[in-house]
Structure 1
Amino acid sequence: MKVLVTHPGLQHSHQMAQALHEQGLLCQYWSGVPVRGPGEPAPWWLPPSLGAKVREVGIPRALRRHPLCFPAMLKLGLHRRIGLNRYLGMSQSAYAHRVFHLFDAWAARRVEALRPDVVVAYENSAMRTFEAARRIGARCVLDAPAVHRATAAELLGLQPDPYLACIDARKDREVELADLVITCSEFAAQTYAQAGVPSAKLRPILLGATPPVNVQRRRTRAGTRFLYAGGLTTLKAVDLLQQAFAMVRAQVPEAELAVAGGGAEPGLAAALASTPGVTLLGALPQPALYQELADADCLVLPSRFDSFGMVVAEALACGTPALVSERVGAKEILREFPRAGWVVQVSAQSLYDRMLELATVRASLDEARPYASLAGEKYTWARYRSAAVATIATLC
């Protein structure tokens, strides 16, 4: 069996491709965002800030293709610089979707020549690729990193419009064509089941993390240090976190909140910056993020909904306990290791109550660290790769 993995960006597709290569099953890995092999430099044309983020894989160069023309306009901001969005009458989100659809068409034209046995493709960039795969008798695996689009629309309060209807139709067609739909958590799989997707198609696989070997905790601060890492958006409930921490800080003046991430929605960065005790770290390369995770007393991820929440696994891998909302898929790790963190409702009050307790009774955090390490030792990328290969093998 030979498997093609294709993704217009990256996400965790390189881990899927790596897993298949390790078992001799990968025939090609096509990704818009480049990766590099051991000892390979980052592409020379990438700015240093992006070059530092290029992931390393053990996949030979001969098995990798990176059609950079698609994501380059997004990553380098060229569509904004030349005013292409305005010229085409598209929002930034619509423009991004169109890039994914172009990548899908690019991959579809090449699938029939490659003739793989199985194609693994990703949400909103798989429809044409799967249609081509079906024409040659290949099996189709949809790797869905988000919750089902109906759940997302409900939780976000999205109003129907022709453009959204077009995107939804593509996503529904992808699910229809797929032999298997891999989700990042049971929480995400349930949203597909609720939308009528047969349970026989659904395969939840929790993601993982593997920190650099040189990351060591360097605790020097007296007060409790909370850390948030991710986009500064209301979807991630950063607004609720800011409100909760402001109340905690009023009660515990030595408490701190470090915020790592970019892409701030209007007003959120300013609200955080004006809150005493908050430090804005900006977007960090992976090694620097792992160090911040190791140095923190507790990760906080209060998302309104999150299919998984990669940073939770990364924090646990560093031995740092996590506080997450009930709508974060990674809560399943904490259900298995309940002493490694805490799950709360999506509200500023619930966040405040738990954060105040942790800031006041530091022993709870100290007691949680060994259990966080145990959880992190289990939920590694090696575990994910093993589960991914086992899942793909069921198509034989």
Structure 2
Amino acid sequence: MSTSAVRNEQRYALPVEFGKVDAPPKNPQSAESRSGSGLTRSVLVTHPGLQHSHQLALALHEKNMLQGFWSGILVAEGDELLPWWLPEHFRKRVRRVGIPSALRVHPIRFQLLLQASMRLNAGQGGDRIHRLFHWFDAWAAKRVMASRPKVVIAYENAAYHTFAAAKAVGARCILDAAAFHHKTVAEQLNPPDTPYTPEVNRRKDAEIAMADLILTCSPLAADSYQANGVEPARLQPLLLGADPKLVTPITSTRRDGPARFMFAGPLSFRKSVDLILAAFARLNAEGFQYELHFVGGVVDQELLGAVQDAPGAVYHPSVPQSQLFDLMATADCLLLPSRSDSFGMVVAEAMACGTPALVSSQTGAKAIVEAFPESGWIVEPDGEALYNALRKLISDPALMQRARVPALLASKEFTWERYRARAGRVLQEYLQ
């Protein structure tokens, strides 16, 4: 695949790192490396949650550039023991990442508070999470002043104080933006404002202004920043990846039965679940046979009810990752016609299972289909376009079968290993 296409693209015993004490770990840099021009262990990555930050931190560690990875969500090395008191449901979610514990800080208070906030349905749940991220930002900023990295990579909505501290110690600031520019999101979704929205957006604008470089999850997301006044020279798209195991062999003949479609993600307006339901309601009324599987959490309870009532639809609550891949591998097509999605990791995951994807023009993972046109389909995020595309695929399931091998080939360029190679190379070249 061409470079241009890709671009369009320790043991735990209640230690300091797990939040018992607020002091940062000792700076592992030698005096020589700190005073020199090299980048050895000079980059700090901070994130109140996780997202793909552990993959970026690992990319830097593989280049011997990582000074520290501070995350509100615990990760562990492959053979690292977890705290005996960690609840079982937390244990199952711990990502195994090859970053030494000496380089990591995981203040447990943030993970506990984040989990509590996500379980509370009353009031402005989003505001609670925003305030928690801002608290993490202030927590990290104090420690930046002590650890004095040369480069700080922080994440959208948790970089305001961290970047100010980084500037104070002469460090360069890199913003990893997981979403579209907030003004673009407002145009696409018109989300209701809360009393805290102006403060959230004010901080986001300040983060963008302080950033020397902004990483986005796709060229489409980079376009949203450029459209809102960010200079192209400060933008760098880095398409994400996936590493599921292939659980079903790719064959030249498809399984028996009606076409099987799958949606994976939160049931929400943003993901266009309403459009999916409307399109299949029309197809059902016309007598078409199909299976429609929804997998994931619930943002909108009304959508959950509609899914449960829809003919031919099956709802699976959030499932373990291995089970998710099994479901993906037996689907004929993944659906992600989002109204606003800076990437859409499930597209890369599905393709790694040999399952092609139908995505919208406002889904960043469309870059995969653009680079490998036979691996899926791109439609506008509106009901008529989605209906027409689905009708064509249901009428001729061989179209989806023929796309399975190209989808698998496309996935080879969008693994986490390839992401780390791209990210490591881009950051090394930029910082040198």
Q: Flag whether TM exceeds 0.5 (same fold).
A: yes
Distance 2:326 2:72 in 1: 28
Give the 3-state SS of the residue equivalent to 2:97 in structure 1: coil
Q: Secondary structure at the match of 1:267?
A: helix
- Partners of 2:164 and 2:84 lie apart in 1 by 36
Q: What do residues 257-306 of structure 1 show as CA deviations (whole Å, max 9, x unaligned)?
A: 11000123031000000011111111122222112111111000011110
Whether the 8 Å contact between 1:53 and 1:286 is mirrored in structure 2 is: no
Amino acid at match of 2:107: P
C-alpha contact (below 8 Å) 1:252/1:359 kept by paired residues: no
1:235 aligns with 2:270: yes
Give 1:357 shift. 1.5
Q: Report the more deviating stretch, 186-195 or 343-352.
A: 343-352
C-alpha spacing 1:265/1:256, structure 2 compared with 1 (3 Å): same
SS of 1:378's equivalent in the other structure is: coil
After superposition, what is the alpha-carbon deviation per residue over 1:153-194, rounded to whole angstroms, capped at 9, x for unaligned? 111224666522211110011111111000001111011001
Pick the aligned partner of 1:97 from 122, 130, 140.
Answer: 130
2:77 to 37, 43, 52: 37
Q: Separation in 2 of the partners of 1:196 and 1:323?
A: 31
- The aligned residue for residue 175 of structure 1 is 208
Counterpart residue identity of residue 318, structure 1: C
The more displaced of 26-35 and 242-251 is 242-251
1:187 aligns with 2:220: yes
2:10 is matched with which residue? none
Q: Which residue of 1 aligns with 2:199?
A: 166
TM-score calculated relative to the size of structure 2: 0.86
Mapped partners of 1:107, 1:195: distance in 2: 28
- Residue identity opposite 2:164 in structure 1: E
Matched, 1:63 2:96: no
**SS at the partner of 2:170?**
coil
Instruction: Name 2:242's counterpart in structure 1.
Output: 209
Letter in 2 for 1:368: A
Contact 2:248 2:330 in 1 (8 A): no
Matched, 1:251 2:291: no
1:108 to 141, 149, 155: 141
Q: Does 1:223 align with 2:245?
A: no
Q: Deviations over 1:183-210 (max 9, x none)?
A: 0011110110011011110001111111
* 1:124 aligned residue (153, 157, 168): 157
Equivalent pairs counted in the alignment come to 389
> 1:311 is matched with which residue: 341, 346, 357?
346
Q: 1:324 aligns with which of 328, 335, 359?
A: 359
Deviation at 1:332, TM superposition (A): 1.0
Q: Is the deviation greater in 353-362 or in 179-188?
A: 353-362
Aligned position for 1:381 = 416
Distance 2:413 2:304 in 1: 35
Q: Does 1:395 align with 2:422?
A: no
**How far apart, CA to CA, are the structure 2 residues paired with 1:43 and 1:289?**
27
**Mapped pair 1:152 → 2:185:** yes
Q: What is residue 266 of structure 1 aligned with on the other side?
A: 301
Give the Cα separation in 1 of the matches to 2:277 and 2:89.
28
Structure 1: give runs of 5+ residues left out of the alignment. none
**Cα contact 1:53–1:285 (8 A) shared by 2:** no
User: Secondary structure at 1:375's aligned position in 2?
Assistant: helix
Supply the distance in 1 between the matched residues of 2:66 and 2:299 (Cα, whole angstroms): 38
Aligned to 2:384: 349
Tell me the distance in 2 between the aligned counterparts of 1:47 and 1:215: 33
CA distance in 2, matches of 1:215, 1:98: 43
SS at match of 1:352: helix
Contact 1:299 1:315 in 2 (8 A): yes
Question: 1:4 touches 1:118 (CA, 8 Å); kept in 2?
Answer: yes
Q: CA deviation at 1:253?
A: 4.8
The two structures, once aligned, show a CA RMSD in angstroms of: 2.0
Letter in 1 for 2:337: P
Once the two structures are TM-superposed, the CA of residue 76 in structure 1 deviates from its matched residue by 4.0
> Structure 1's 238 and 45: CA in aligned 2 closer, same or farther, altered over 3 A?
farther
Cα distance, 1:215–1:309 mapped onto 2, change above 3 Å: same
Gaps in structure 2 of 5+ consecutive residues: 1-38
Measured in 2, the distance between the counterparts of 1:165 and 1:126 equals 16
| Structure 1 SS opposite 2:412 | helix
User: Counterpart in 1 of 2:68?
Assistant: 28
Deviates further, 68-77 or 158-167: 158-167
Q: Is the 8 A contact 2:275 2:382 kept in 1?
A: yes
Share of identical aligned residues, percent?
A: 48
Question: What is the one-letter code of the residue matched to 1:59?
Answer: I
Aligned residue identity for 2:329 = A
Could you say which residue in structure 2 is the equivalent of 1:6? 46
Q: Contact 2:247/2:353 (CA < 8 Å) preserved in 1?
A: no
**Given residue 52 of structure 1, which amino acid in structure 2 is its aligned partner?**
K
Q: Residues 355 and 281 (structure 1 numbering): CA distance in 2 closer, same or farther, change over 3 Å?
A: same
- Please give the alpha-carbon distance, in whole angstroms, between the structure 2 residues aligned to 1:79 and 1:336: 39
Amino acid at match of 1:390: R
Q: Measured at CA, do residues 302 and 79 of structure 1 come closer, stay the same or move farther in structure 2, by a change above 3 Å?
A: closer
The Cα of 1:75 is off from its aligned counterpart by 1.4
The answer (yes or no) to whether the contact 2:347–2:365 under 8 Å persists in 1 is yes
Is 1:139 aligned with 2:175? no
Measure how far apart 1:395 and its partner are: 1.8
Report if the CA contact (8 A) 2:244-2:325 is conserved: yes
Once residues 75 and 215 of structure 1 are traced to their aligned partners in structure 2, the CA distance between those partners, rounded to angstroms, is: 34
Look up the match of 2:320: 285
| 8 Å contact from structure 1 (residues 71, 99) kept in 2 | no
Question: Which whole-Å CA distance do the structure 2 matches of 1:232 and 1:78 have between them?
Answer: 15
